[in-house]
Amino acid sequence: LRLHPDLPITALASKEGLLRRTSDPALVMGRRRLERSERSWRFRDPRMEPVARLASRLERKPSLSQDRLFQAVRAGLAGTEEDRGQLASILLEASELAEASPKPIPVQDLFHAALSRWRSGPGPRLDGRRLGLELLSPGEILDRHLPLLRRGLKPALSLEGLGPGADLGGRPLAGHGWCASFSRGGAPAALIAARDRRTLERLLRVEDALARTTRTGAGDILEAGRLYGYPPCCVRAWAKSAWRRSTAGGWAALMNRAASPGPVLPEILPLLAPDLGFVPCSPRCRAAAAAYRSWFCALGGSLAGPALAGRVFVHSLEDPADAASLIPASRTEMSLRYDASRVEGTSGRVAARLRQGDRIEEDAGRVSVLKGTRVLVRWVAQTLVWDRSRIVDPGFWAELAAAALRRSDPSWRRRAAASTRVGLSLVQDSGALKTARG
């Protein structure tokens, strides 16, 4: 931010007492252009000053080689790849720590705390699988899904993550009206079950073909959709979608379709049953709504309740078992108030954080939980809010889903999330520039 003497914003800053000289050479260089005089300024929130001092030293700058703080930052980053995505991620960690502190944190302490939190990565995942807002064991997940086959609601289904090593509690892989086998290749492993042996063998061959190539043919997609019992209109739309070539394509297209204008039918809640979720051809597809309604009724438990349609769901993008829901009390353009005592969810960090607050805010993909005016936590590329009454930018959610949910090694996932955060900052900068110009 450059404050030239002849600008209205400079006069406003002077009136509010925000003009001040700074002795930090990095901030002086960052706020000065030789062709015009400028005024030095301070942050309205003093907790952000250490964040700015850190931000100005994360990248290599020969002009700061003798600066002690710069030397400490360079020493701390030794052994880090230092691509811009990772540096932006470290800076965001520092910003979150600064906001959570009641007073300014010394800049070196802030840097080491942010670096430690970034290197530790996401916390441990919940032990179990999520169905609705229930946390179940692998054997319980199988038991809850089998009625879909026995009642003829689906020809086959795939339970992702239940590989040969899954503890099914001694349950057999066959029974009256169903049989099952483990996927033959690809990742992640899955338990595939069908109503009969012929359907099972056919689906195993199709899944094997889908896992062996990134250029999936429309024929294999149409066949898989038929075997899984998805509505034909939704399968045809997915076969034509460019997102099907991405390993995170289902999430990307789902967010894209749900963001289109108009209401989303209340029965379309694909994120509540991760193993059954498919991409509706539109937010108002009645065939998709009917499929989800019948499946949820058969699955029972929390999915059979009539109150699902009135809730807003918050899902973790780092742990598929971590999710929560709340009942909105009031809404504004970017904010949603709720009663913390009515938050439901699995025993993870999402529900725990929501129970501490009374409001969530969404801004260009950032999800913040607040108590009054105090920010308790801010998630960037870490959570997804499923609220059918709101319209979100489809392009951003597509990018977010592709980055955060790609099935790959943890280091790639972390780099992808960092890259998403860099893209988010560019979107925010662009929006701020347009606002300033307006």
For 176, 183, 252, 299, 320, the CA distances from 190, given in Å and listed in that order, are 21, 5, 21, 19, 15
pTM over 0.75: no
Phi/psi of residue 337, nearest 5 degrees: -95, 150
Token pair belonging to 315: 């899902």
pLDDT level of residue 156 (50, 70, 90 thresholds):
very high
pLDDT, tens only, 365-406: 678 899 998 888 888 767 878 776 664 444 444 444 444 444
The answer on pLDDT for 425 being more than 90 is no
Q: Which residues, in sequence order, are CB contacts of 286 under 8 Å at separation 6+?
A: 265
| Distance, CA of 85 to CA of 298 (rounded, Å) | 44
Stronger pLDDT, 251 or 292, i.e. the higher one: 292
Condensed to tens digits (0 to 9), the pLDDT of residues 10-57 reads: 899 889 888 887 778 777 665 555 445 777 888 888 999 999 889 888
Strand partners for 368: 361, 378
